[in-house]
Amino acid sequence: MGASKSDSFSVEQNEMATLFKALSHPARIAIVDYLLTVDTCICGDIVEVLPLAQPTVSQHLKELKNANFIQGTIEGTAICYCLNPDTIAQIEHHFGAIRQKLKNKCC
């Protein structure tokens, strides 16, 4: 079996691609925005604020969780989600490096 195209890129480039892919849907951006407004959240709460069915919201949450963008804890029969601070720091670091490189460049 041949090598994957992703093998041609650095670990950081592949990680960033995974994160950005997870954020590439407006519903997922809306979920992130919502999680920023609450301390913890239950999946049902998210369904109430988005114009999507519960299975669709669950699929979007799964994509964000698979990318390690959000984390969840089980509390009884509910799952409480929050943003993963380590992943947010990783994104900040990536964009900080871009900003530093752009400081001295002009087109």
DSSP 40: S
Q: Which residue blocks in the chain are alpha helix, DSSP H?
A: 11-22, 26-37, 43-49, 54-66, 85-103
Q: What is the pLDDT of residue 1?
A: 44
Q: What is the pLDDT of residue 42?
A: 78
Architecture in CATH for domain 10-98: Orthogonal Bundle (1.10)
Q: What is the pLDDT of residue 38?
A: 87
Q: What is the pLDDT of residue 3?
A: 56
Closest CA to 30 of 55, 65, 57: 57
Cβ-contact 58, 72 below 8 angstroms? no
Q: What is the pLDDT of residue 106?
A: 67
Domain boundaries, the chain: 10-98
Q: Report the C-alpha gap between 85 and 91 in whole angstroms.
A: 10
Strand partners, 1: none
Cβ-contact 30, 50 below 8 angstroms? yes
Q: Tens-of-pLDDT digits for all 107 residues of the chain? A: 455 677 889 998 999 999 999 999 999 999 999 999 987 777 778 888 999 999 999 999 999 999 999 998 887 778 889 999 999 999 999 999 888 888 877 66
What is the value of pTM for the model shown?
A: 0.82
